[in-house]
Amino acid sequence: MTRTPAHLIDLTCSALDELRAQTPLVQCLTNSVVTGFTANVLLALGAAPAMVDLPGEAGQFAHAASGVLVNLGTPTREQRPAMLEAAAEARRAGTPWVLDPVAIGSLPVRTALSRELCDLGPDIVRGNASEVLVAAGAGVGGRGVDSVADVETALVPAAELALRTGGVVAVSGPVDAVTDGRRTVRISNGTPLLTRVTGGGCALGAVMAAFASVDEDRWATTVAACLVYTVAAGMAAESAPGPGSFSVLFLDALAAIGPDDLARRAMLS
Amino acid sequence: MTRTPAHLIDLTCSALDELRAQTPLVQCLTNSVVTGFTANVLLALGAAPAMVDLPGEAGQFAHAASGVLVNLGTPTREQRPAMLEAAAEARRAGTPWVLDPVAIGSLPVRTALSRELCDLGPDIVRGNASEVLVAAGAGVGGRGVDSVADVETALVPAAELALRTGGVVAVSGPVDAVTDGRRTVRISNGTPLLTRVTGGGCALGAVMAAFASVDEDRWATTVAACLVYTVAAGMAAESAPGPGSFSVLFLDALAAIGPDDLARRAMLS
Amino acid sequence: MTRTPAHLIDLTCSALDELRAQTPLVQCLTNSVVTGFTANVLLALGAAPAMVDLPGEAGQFAHAASGVLVNLGTPTREQRPAMLEAAAEARRAGTPWVLDPVAIGSLPVRTALSRELCDLGPDIVRGNASEVLVAAGAGVGGRGVDSVADVETALVPAAELALRTGGVVAVSGPVDAVTDGRRTVRISNGTPLLTRVTGGGCALGAVMAAFASVDEDRWATTVAACLVYTVAAGMAAESAPGPGSFSVLFLDALAAIGPDDLARRAMLS
């Protein structure tokens, strides 16, 4: 069922209420650069982060968790089997899990790992356009962690990838797009300041895992995650004189954001 | 000797002065989520953090350090022997060391490691009520890194654990309790905002290691650490519109806090 | 060619413009305490950080990167071969690379590693006076990550080290000194608040790697990096009530700093 923007905003408000009522436990297997920021984003929003990423613990924890994030920013030798363990057990237990294939393309370790993880059917794949193109088998990668492709170029491959994984694919950029292969929506609330703070994209993957736990419609909850995240970023950007202040005000905005902010600011199409 | 609240506040003021005069060198073997925040908390307070957590270096460093923190949030394969090495050498050298058994209970790697470390006689064990109950052999664990038990329930097991380790046990929560098995005090200065910032508990363990180096009475310095930490948090919470601002103002408050703040705000019983 | 302070300020302004125009891709193999802060410093300034530190990826990435930082704060077993790989490939490809030998001296793992890396000819070595003295074979090390020697004492050994590596050596402290063995300049813009925030020194190494990519004169770009960094710190310190606020305002200042700030505030001799 396609939903109009107004329906999606209503659903986002409900999902945000649910999230704050349930405090979903979000397991993050993520990179060393953004662990602290990711945890703070989840806490500000009302979720409960837990960075359980050891082999022998990660799979067990994925059973109990409300959602799981697997982010390939700096996948250490010890994290790699833990990531596969967590993804496999999440799948078995029905715990929604998100794959963020950071900087895949020419770098061999993460690119091979991303392929293995994709075969485990991530509920959501989140990346920039270059990363999504590589995951879809249609590109060679970006420049470091940055995209060299634009979001529109990635839309058809993203939809094909979604049909292949049976999940949702979210492409982040100046405009964010979320597709499940049949339904696609664009969100235009991003701010360039999100790209001047490390973890701006990575923490969004964790937020998607948190939202995925509150409703069965993965596409809709992924849209909700993008919307809450980027509207809060827009609120913060209005009064931030620079990237340091923005990061602080963004956490405050994630804690404060409510239905009125979403209704007034959401830009969906 | 039991001390009255007024004595404890005086002692806390002296310990804070001593700490700032001595700049204790605090070795932290801690989790990847909170390393930066923990170091910033120690620096703001006036201590000197050093995150030396490699096997072959950690034990040697524990000799020279003023205090050591061993935190089990994300104990990697390489950190685990380094933690045992640091704890054993700290014990040998008489360097006070703190164990923070994050999320022990059902997770097998950290739970086994915590048991080994407890046998090395930590000067201070700090945890939430669920973690302290597990360490005391009286509970099955919390929900992720959060407690599902309350502080009062953990007090008798905490006192028993303190008698067994020969050290101090601190239970963190809405009210903090510190016991050495004979003396117990409660501190009611906490703010919920400390639970909306990652590392709110973990950094307190590092602060306890810093304070432990300035006076022989471990129970009293642990009370001092809790008091300085939570009073500073209360000062920050008064003007923080959200968790992002709180985190920043908390560091400012740790650098600014003085005897007047402690005398006016401390809530001990 | 020796340059007057006025020439160096002009060159710094041009280098900053170039850096912002080119968005250099800076590969950081750095310690777990400061990864997030380092990335945020680079992003605020206008560079693009990428923390690629896995064996099998680090060398390949060093070919494509604009500059590389190797920081020995917490060199894990997996990072160590990656650091050697990145340094060797950077050298082969002509990518400038910076060595920050954190806390070398008595700690055996990092001290041996630092020696191996020095033999690979770092374009820039950055450290406090104690670290530079050890790297130059003229000292035994500091207290944890802090120096026990002063900058002036380290100047002659620093110059000798520069002649031996064929690169530049920067000594950080209350006054910063930069030498290539023939030319030496002192920068007096530092603020004590930089020592109250973790990563204050470590992130400067990354900034040096970013600046090294915009001009062939390594000595001049290293001076430019120090100058931009410490002038921005001075701007932030003016309105920061404590170390938490300072850290935020410092990132804002790095994004805002321009030629006028440099001309008005630079203190070179």
Set of chain C residues whose Cβ sits within 8 Å of the Cβ of B25: 143-144
ipTM > 0.95? yes
Interface chains of chain B (3 or more CB pairs under 8 Å):
A, C
Residues in chain B: 269
For residue C166, name the pLDDT band (cuts at 50, 70, 90): very high
Tell me the per-residue pLDDT of C145-157, one tens digit each, with 9 for 90 and over.
Answer: 999 999 999 999 9
Q: To the nearest whole angstrom, how far is the Cα of B189 from the nearest Cα of chain A?
A: 21
Residue of B nearest to A36 (CA): B33
Backbone angles phi, psi at C2, to 5 degrees: -75, 150
For residue C1, name the pLDDT band (cuts at 50, 70, 90): very low
For residue B248, name the pLDDT band (cuts at 50, 70, 90): very high
Interface chains of chain A (3 or more CB pairs under 8 Å):
B, C
Contact at CB, B196 and A43, closer than 8 angstroms: yes
Annotated binding residue at C36?
Answer: no
Q: Provide the pLDDT for residue A4.
A: 78
Could you say which of B57, B78, B252 has the minimum Cβ distance to residue C243?
A: B252
Among B30, B31, B33, B146, the strongest candidate for a mutation testing the A interface, having the largest count of A CBs within 10 A, is: B33
For residue C2, name the pLDDT band (cuts at 50, 70, 90): low
Q: What is the CA radius of gyration of chain A?
A: 17
**pLDDT (mean) for C69-98:** 98
What single-letter DSSP state applies at residue B99?
Answer: E
Q: Which helix (H) or strand (E) holds A172?
A: strand A168-172
Output the CA–CA distances (angstroms, integers) from residue C148 to B46, B65, C105, C130, C133, in the order listed: 17, 15, 12, 6, 11
- Six-digit token string for C120: 């690979």
Contact at CB, B36 and C37, closer than 8 angstroms: yes
Q: Which residues of chain A have pLDDT under 70?
A: 1-3
Please, which residues have CB within 8 angstroms of residue B51's CB and are 6 or more apart in sequence? Answer: B27, B28, B29, B30, B35, B39, C31, C32, C33, C73, C74
Q: To the nearest whole angstrom, how far is the Cα of A201 from the nearest Cα of chain C?
A: 14
Per DSSP, helices labelled H in chain B are 5-22, 35-45, 58-64, 79-93, 108-118, 129-135, 151-165, 202-212, 218-239, 243-256, 259-265
The b/e string for A108-118 (b: 16+ C-beta within 10 A; e otherwise) is ebbbebbeebb
**DSSP string across C147-192:** -SS-HHHHHHHHHHHHHHHTSEEEEESSSEEEE-SS-EEEE----G
Output the CA–CA distances (angstroms, integers) from residue C10 to A245, C16, C224, C227, C258, in the order listed: 29, 10, 9, 11, 11
- Half-sphere exposure (Cβ direction) of B141: Cα atoms closer than 13 Å: 16
Contact at CB, B74 and A56, closer than 8 angstroms: no
**Cβ contact C132:C104 at 8 Å:** no
% of chain C beyond a pLDDT of 70: 99
Count of beta carbons in the 10 Å neighbourhood of residue C94: 8
Give the separation between CA C106 and CA C142, rounded to whole angstroms. 9
Interface chains of chain C (3 or more CB pairs under 8 Å):
A, B
Q: Provide the pLDDT for residue A112.
A: 97
What single-letter DSSP state applies at residue B192?
Answer: G
- Six-digit token string for C79: 């990072």
Give the separation between CA C10 and CA B115, rounded to whole angstroms. 61
Set of chain C residues whose Cβ sits within 8 Å of the Cβ of B52: 74, 103, 107, 144
Count of beta carbons in the 10 Å neighbourhood of residue B163: 14
Residues of A with CB under 8 A from a CB of C: 31-37, 73-77, 103, 106-110, 143-146, 195-199, 241-245, 247-248
Q: To the nearest whole angstrom, how far is the Cα of A50 from the nearest Cα of chain B?
A: 6
Tell me the per-residue pLDDT of A118-156, one tens digit each, with 9 for 90 and over.
Answer: 999 999 999 999 999 999 999 999 999 999 999 999 999
Strands A124-128, A25-29: parallel, antiparallel or unpaired by DSSP?
A: unpaired
- Half-sphere exposure (Cβ direction) of A31: Cα atoms closer than 13 Å: 32
Q: Provide the pLDDT for residue A3.
A: 65
**Widest CA span in chain A:** 46
Give the separation between CA B117 and CA B102, rounded to whole angstroms. 13
Q: Which residues pair with C67 in a beta bridge?
A: C26
Residue of C nearest to B247 (CA): C244
Annotated binding residue at A32?
Answer: no
Q: Which residues pair with B186 in a beta bridge?
A: B177
- Six-digit token string for A90: 């999440």
**pLDDT (mean) for B11-28:** 98
Looking at C33-83, which runs of residues are DSSP E strands? 48-50, 67-71
Report how many Cβ contacts below 8 Å link chain A to chain C.
98
Indicate yes or no: pTM above 0.80.
Answer: yes
**Cβ contact C224:C187 at 8 Å:** no
What single-letter DSSP state applies at residue B217?
Answer: -
**Cβ contact A136:A100 at 8 Å:** no
- For the beta sheet containing C124-128, the strands, ordered from the edge strand earlier in sequence to the opposite edge, are C48-50, C25-29, C67-71, C97-100, C124-128, C168-172, C176-179, C184-187
Set of chain A residues whose Cβ sits within 8 Å of the Cβ of B32: 32, 35, 51
Give the separation between CA B93 and CA B27, rounded to whole angstroms. 14
Count of beta carbons in the 10 Å neighbourhood of residue B166: 12
- Six-digit token string for C244: 């938490």
Nearest to B199 by CA among B144, B247, B265, B136: B247
- Six-digit token string for A179: 């597709």
Output the CA–CA distances (angstroms, integers) from residue B104 to A40, A230, B50, B268, in the order listed: 22, 35, 25, 29
Output the CA–CA distances (angstroms, integers) from residue A65 to A38, A58, A159, B232, C84, in the order listed: 16, 10, 28, 33, 39
Q: To the nearest whole angstrom, how far is the Cα of C79 from the nearest Cα of chain A?
A: 9
Domain parsing of chain C, residue ranges: 5-265
- B5-265 CATH: 3.40.1190.20
Q: Provide the pLDDT for residue C5.
A: 85
Tell me the per-residue pLDDT of C95-147, one tens digit each, with 9 for 90 and over.
Answer: 999 999 999 999 999 999 999 999 999 999 999 999 999 999 999 999 999 99
Contact at CB, A44 and B109, closer than 8 angstroms: no
Annotated binding residue at C51?
Answer: yes
- The burial class, CB within 10 Å (0-12 / 13-18 / 19+), for A47 is buried
Mean pLDDT of all residues in chain B? 96
Q: To the nearest whole angstrom, how far is the Cα of C129 from the nearest Cα of chain B?
A: 17
Q: Provide the pLDDT for residue B4.
A: 78
**Taking 90 as the threshold, does the pLDDT of residue C4 lie above it?**
no
Q: Please, what is the Cα angle at A37 between A33 and A43, to 5 degrees?
A: 150
Contact at CB, C48 and A108, closer than 8 angstroms: no
